[in-house]
Amino acid sequence: MHRDNIEAAPENSSVRNIITAFALNLSFAVIELIGGLLTNSVAILSDALHDFGDSLSLGVAYYLQKKSDKKGDKFYSYGYKRFSLLGSVFISVVLLVSSVFIIEESVRRIISPQETNAQGMFILAILGIIVNGAAVLKMKKGKSHNERAVTLHMMEDLLGWFAVLAASIIMIFIDVPVIDPILSVAITVWVLFNVYRNLKETFRIMLQEVPKDVDINKIENELLKIEGVKSVHDLHIWTMDGEKHIMTVHIVTGLTLNSDNVKRLKYEARKLIRELNISHITVEIEGENESGDCLYNGTC
């Protein structure tokens, strides 16, 4: 049985993107904290707390993304690709915890509104849109679950600052400080919905669900079209990290199991499967009278 090795990828754009997001997030969190205290804005203070948590999670995400590029070894024979999923889970947990604090403080402010410095909020909102907009542009092309979780953070912050901008403009002309915590709650609810979606997809990968971009019935039908293939069984498909898919299959042939026939069947099967977006393929060729266990118990 032949196996295609999963090779380690060099340090890629995923790692660089996360480093950039970390630097922007941490530096701006300090600015937010100071600005939130000066303007007495719960939206800005809650976002500052959120961003400090984000910075911690981004540091972890960077470490796990970098580690996920390692090739297989005696501990993890398939490689470390799924370590990037841990980054996604960690970031989502941080979002959940910080969202609880944000909602709690916002509800208090809704019940007992406090005056805020609308002009200061406006200036900070413009700066926040510029900084977080730059981070989103840097991260939006990411494909890994880790990067998508980070992008969700950046998008949340960007939308939050647009909300702060809108609220500050309204409060400059109308004295309605309750708008600030109401917008904070609305943004947090949107974030929690996206956290749910991200975690749902992450757990599907961990539970080895067939990737959504792969049609397992189509693959089986295409394999049966190869000359000499009688049937297929033990066809399994899963994904390491949402990008690198893995497949194992047993192909039963009516042809003589000589070297040429086995090589041809394996070649045609791998060629067909790679065209269907599966990169790591294990193919076993069996004769018509073979069963999966007969090779080991000597009954064939």
Q: Which neighbouring-strand residues pair with 285?
A: 251
User: What pLDDT sits at residue 295?
Assistant: 47
pLDDT higher at 185 or 88: 185
Two tokens, residue 92: 């989502």
Sorted by where each starts, the structural domains of the chain and their CATH numbers stand as 2-206 (1.20.1510.10), 216-297 (3.30.70.1350)
The listed range with the strongest mean pLDDT (11-15, 49-53, 124-128, 192-196) is 124-128
pLDDT band at 132 (very low <50, low <70, confident <90, very high): confident
Whole-number Å distance between alpha carbons of 264 and 274:
15
Whole-number Å distance between alpha carbons of 191 and 198:
10
Residues 225-252, mean pLDDT to the nearest whole number: 88
Query: Does residue 141 carry a pLDDT above 80?
Result: no
CA distances from 91 to 27, 67, 238, 278 (A): 18, 16, 24, 28
Query: Does residue 171 carry a pLDDT above 70?
Result: yes
pLDDT higher at 265 or 84: 265
Buried b (16+ CB within 10 A) or exposed e, 75-101: eeeebbbbbbbbbbbbbbebbeebbee
Which of 41-50, 166-175, 178-187 is predicted least confidently? 41-50
User: What pLDDT sits at residue 91?
Assistant: 75
pLDDT band at 145 (very low <50, low <70, confident <90, very high): low
Query: Does residue 299 carry a pLDDT above 50?
Result: no
Residues 205-225, mean pLDDT to the nearest whole number: 87
User: What pLDDT sits at residue 57?
Assistant: 67
- Rg of the chain, C-alpha, whole Å: 26
pLDDT higher at 139 or 293: 139
pLDDT higher at 9 or 125: 125
Which of 63-67, 116-120, 186-190 is predicted least confidently? 63-67
Two tokens, residue 185: 């709650």
Q: Which neighbouring-strand residues pair with 232?
A: 251
Q: How would you class 222 by CB atoms within 10 Å of its CB: exposed for 0-12, middle for 13-18, buried for 19 or more?
A: middle
The listed range with the strongest mean pLDDT (58-62, 69-73, 108-112) is 108-112
Which of 66-70, 99-103, 234-238, 246-250 is predicted least confidently? 66-70
DSSP string, 137-169: HHHTT--SHHHHHHHHHHHHHHHHHHHHHHHHH
Compute the mean pLDDT over every residue in the chain, rounded to the nearest whole number. 78
pLDDT higher at 260 or 161: 260
pLDDT higher at 28 or 210: 210
